[in-house]
């Protein structure tokens, strides 16, 4: 593919708001995870909750979108001059030539979960409940388009945990086809009962802090985040470049990865092929690394079969938690920080490295030039996406 | 600018009194009036028995129309990339999970949770046909058909390979139904090819146009009521044109409040 300029980006996660706060946490090898406080749930798990989401007041003109997911999106938009950068792009290209493609898995579902606790005697939901601008899977893209004054094509990709990696491909294709000149891409996913109780029912939640690549890892810690990037046909001072997107399916099982990572291998090879790069050109791999026994084992084998065991790699989910539909976007932003600051972030929370896993898994931060990063995002339904991101040239 | 022209090599259709594209041709061409009766969802024959029992309405609907389009195009689904688009996904699962989660000590069904993801139908299809080809699952609320069509034609044009587009919607049960009143299950699948083949029904060129363009309607009042009520049925004027060789060849389909899609058939 023709490299696509990433003009700027921003994010909010349990590590804090904005790129500087995220970088500071990564440099300090600090986790944003803590024992669950959200809704005082009686679940034995840790979460990456973003502070202050409920205190966010949306502007009156956006009030109909009020739900935790869109409040989190609004928080995310406030950092790093992102709104101003989008305004410049809108003026340059025209509002109808700027698309919005975002990933989410559960959208504003918490709003509906709460509404079901307040059904009337006839079973009806509360009169002030609104479905479209909150729970519907599209709501965050409608909200962000409205908030940023964008009128181009928009949709949400909802392929579970690969969602916000795949949106980079949407933008690249629509720009390549000449339908648009720029796009806001990214992902937003917020804590809700369905994911916490749902992953708990599958016995995929760690009762301890999540420990990717640890011998005793026993599941994930769920996080929440909003991550956005502005990609443009041309950019005066891009922060980085999208060089390749690889997408595949496992075609194997709804909630268990293919044991040999067959689909993951296809996604990584696809991303490298689009970038016109060899495995040796990748300096650092940001793993999907959820810390479930099966994910890390399958991903270790899959990465090794494409890259061998030499390339430095880590999962940053020990810091952010697994932000599900936002994970691809969050980790693309972390990849750009890695490139900008020559930082290969450590995989946190490892007590005893799993001897059955063989990648060059980073247990401490490494300072080294980073020109190209591969970022993996794999999801339920066997959906796989890999991105290759590169340094400014 | 790339001209987004693709060829339609197969069609799948399922909806109220529309059992398949093949059996609905008389209605779609206007030779017979459409009379509504509830959509009948066939069991998903491709799934193994255990998965067949677990399959919800959204999966049954999507797999039925996908199968019809693939069979018509006589193409191997194991190598076929897919675009699934739906305004709501699996409403029954969402309802059951929200009901459970409103109780004091909720015990969630892991099967329900796994199948509640928006890409459940895509995942089931790729498992059923053992395909590792790329797939995506989109939503754009009332514009979900248009979103899927843009993504599909762009992928076919840039990727140079055939692709299966599956647009489908299933209603929520009450109380969500009152807040999102989709009247019934409805879906359209299109098998799109980058080149003309001996199966091609028509060439289709898709262009983004402004919201000032009037949306094409269906001549049949009952079909047009479906078009207005169910997002996936926004594609009905396209199917009506395919069924009637002398129908208008330039259509405008609904997409976003800011944008529509012009579809030219040749």
The DSSP call for residue A203 is T
Are B130 and A251 an interchain contact pair (Cβ–Cβ within 8 Å)? yes
Burial environment of residue A312 by CB neighbours within 10 A (0 to 12, 13 to 18, 19 or more):
middle
Cβ partners under 8 Å of residue A108, min gap 6 = A67, A68, A69, A70, A133, A134, A135, A136, A139, A140, A190
Quote the CA–CA distance of A333 and B216 in Å, as a whole number: 42
pLDDT band (50, 70, 90) for residue B50: confident
CB A391 within 8 A of CB A372: yes
The verdict on B3 touching A (C-beta cutoff 8 Å) is no
The verdict on B250 touching A (C-beta cutoff 8 Å) is no
pLDDT score of B80 more than 80 = yes
Nearest to A248 by CA among A271, A275, A229: A271
Quote the CA–CA distance of A93 and A91 in Å, as a whole number: 6
The verdict on B157 touching A (C-beta cutoff 8 Å) is yes
Residues in chain B within 8 Å Cβ distance of A148: none
CB A362 within 8 A of CB A195: no
pLDDT score of B246 more than 80 = no
Residue A49 tokens read as: 């909750």
Residues of A identified as active-site: 161, 288, 322
- pTM (two decimals): 0.98
Residue B24 tokens read as: 């609905």
Each residue of B189-235: pLDDT tens digit? 999 999 999 999 999 999 999 999 999 999 999 999 999 999 999 99
Quote the CA–CA distance of A376 and A162 in Å, as a whole number: 8
Give the residue on A whose Cα is nearest the Cα of B144: A155
CB-closest option in A131, A139, A380 to B176:
A131
CA A143 to chain centre: 18
Helix (H, G, I), strand (E, B) or coil at A333: helix
Helix (H, G, I), strand (E, B) or coil at B124: helix
Q: Domain residue spans in chain B?
A: 7-201
Shortest CA gap A60–chain B (Å): 20
Q: What is the ipTM of this complex?
A: 0.98
Each residue of A214-249: pLDDT tens digit? 999 999 999 999 999 999 999 999 999 999 999 999
The verdict on B141 touching A (C-beta cutoff 8 Å) is yes
pLDDT for the residue A392? 80
Shortest CA gap B253–chain A (Å): 14
- CA distances A168 to A149, A246, A378, Å, are 20, 10, 15
pLDDT for the residue A254? 86
pLDDT for the residue A393? 73
What do you get for the CA distance between the two ends of chain A, in Å?
16
CB-closest option in B114, B118, B136 to A254:
B114
Helix (H) or strand (E) holding B121: helix B120-128
Give, in words, the CATH class of B7-201.
alpha beta
Task: Work out the average pLDDT over B113-120.
Answer: 94
CATH number of this structure's domain A4-390, picked from the four choices 3.40.50.2300, 3.40.50.300, 3.20.20.60, 3.40.47.10: 3.40.47.10
């Amino acid at each position: 593919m023709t490299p696509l300029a990433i003009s700027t980006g921003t994010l909010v996660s349990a590590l804090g708001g904005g790129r500087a706060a995220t970088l500071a946490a990564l440099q300090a090898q600090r986790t944003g995870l803590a024992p669950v406080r959200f809704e005082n749930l009686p679940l034995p798990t840790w979460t990456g909750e973003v502070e202050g989401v409920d205190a966010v007041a949306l502007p009156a003109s956006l009030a109909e979108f009020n739900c935790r997911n869109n409040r989190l999106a609004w928080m995310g938009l406030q950092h790093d001059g992102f709104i101003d950068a989008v305004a410049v792009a809108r003026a340059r290209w025209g509002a109808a030539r700027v698309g919005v493609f975002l990933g989410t898995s559960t959208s504003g579902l918490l709003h509906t979960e709460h509404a079901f606790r307040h059904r009337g005697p006839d079973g009806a939901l509360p009169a002030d409940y609104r479905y479209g601008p909150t729970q519907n899977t599209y709501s965050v893209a409608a909200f962000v388009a409205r908030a940023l004054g964008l009128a181009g094509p928009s949709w949400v990709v909802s392929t579970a945990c690969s969602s916000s990696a795949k949106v980079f491909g949407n933008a690249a294709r629509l720009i390549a086809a000449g339908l648009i000149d720029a796009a806001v891409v990214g992902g937003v996913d917020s804590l809700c009962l369905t994911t916490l109780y749902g992953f708990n029912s599958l016995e995929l939640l760690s009762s301890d802090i999540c420990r990717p690549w640890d011998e005793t890892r026993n599941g994930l810690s769920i996080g929440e985040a909003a991550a956005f990037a502005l990609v443009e046909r041309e950019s005066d001072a891009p922060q980085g470049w999208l060089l390749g997107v690889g997408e595949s399916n496992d075609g194997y099982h709804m909630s268990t990865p293919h044991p040999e990572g067959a689909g993951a291998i296809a996604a990584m090879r696809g991303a490298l092929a689009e970038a016109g790069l060899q495995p040796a050109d990748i300096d650092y791999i940001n793993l999907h690394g959820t810390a479930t026994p099966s994910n890390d084992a399958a991903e270790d084998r899959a990465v090794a079969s494409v890259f061998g065991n030499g390339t430095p790699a880590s999962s940053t989910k020990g810091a952010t938690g697994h932000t599900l539909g936002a994970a691809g976007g969050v980790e693309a932003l972390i990849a750009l920080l890695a490139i900008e600051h020559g930082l290969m972030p450590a995989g946190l929370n490892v007590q005893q490295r799993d001897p059955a896993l063989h990648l060059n898994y980073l247990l401490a931060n490494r300072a080294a030039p980073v020109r190209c990063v591969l970022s993996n995002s794999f999801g339920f339904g066997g959906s796989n996406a890999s991105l290759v991101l590169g340094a400014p040239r | 600018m790339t001209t987004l022209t693709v060829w339609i090599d197969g069609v799948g259709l399922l909806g109220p009194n529309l059992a398949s594209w093949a059996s609905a041709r008389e209605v779609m061409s206007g030779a017979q009036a459409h009379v509504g009766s509830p959509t009948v969802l066939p069991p998903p024959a491709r799934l193994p028995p255990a998965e067949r029992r677990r399959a919800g309405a959204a999966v049954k609907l999507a797999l039925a129309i996908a199968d019809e389009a693939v069979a018509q195009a006589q193409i191997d689904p194991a190598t076929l990339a897919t675009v699934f688009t739906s305004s709501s996904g699996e409403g029954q699962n969402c309802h059951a999970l929200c009901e459970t989660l409103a109780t004091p000590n909720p015990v969630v069904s892991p099967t329900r949770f796994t199948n509640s993801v928006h890409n459940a139908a895509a995942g089931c299809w790729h498992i059923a046909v053992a395909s590792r080809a790329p797939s995506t699952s989109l939503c754009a609320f009332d514009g979900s058909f248009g979103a899927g069509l843009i993504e599909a034609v762009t992928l076919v044009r840039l990727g140079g390979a055939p692709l299966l587009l599956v647009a489908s919607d299933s209603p929520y049960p009450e109380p969500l139904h009152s807040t999102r009143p989709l009247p019934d299950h409805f879906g359209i699948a299109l098998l799109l090819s980058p080149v003309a083949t001996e199966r091609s029904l028509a060439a289709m060129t898709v262009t983004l146009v402004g919201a000032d363009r009037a949306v094409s309607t269906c001549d049949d009042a009952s079909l047009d009521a479906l078009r207005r009520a169910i997002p996936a049925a926004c594609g009905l004027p396209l199917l009506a044109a395919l069924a009637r060789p002398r129908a208008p060849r330039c259509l405008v389909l609904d997409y976003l409040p800011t944008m529509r899609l012009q579809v030219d058939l040749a």
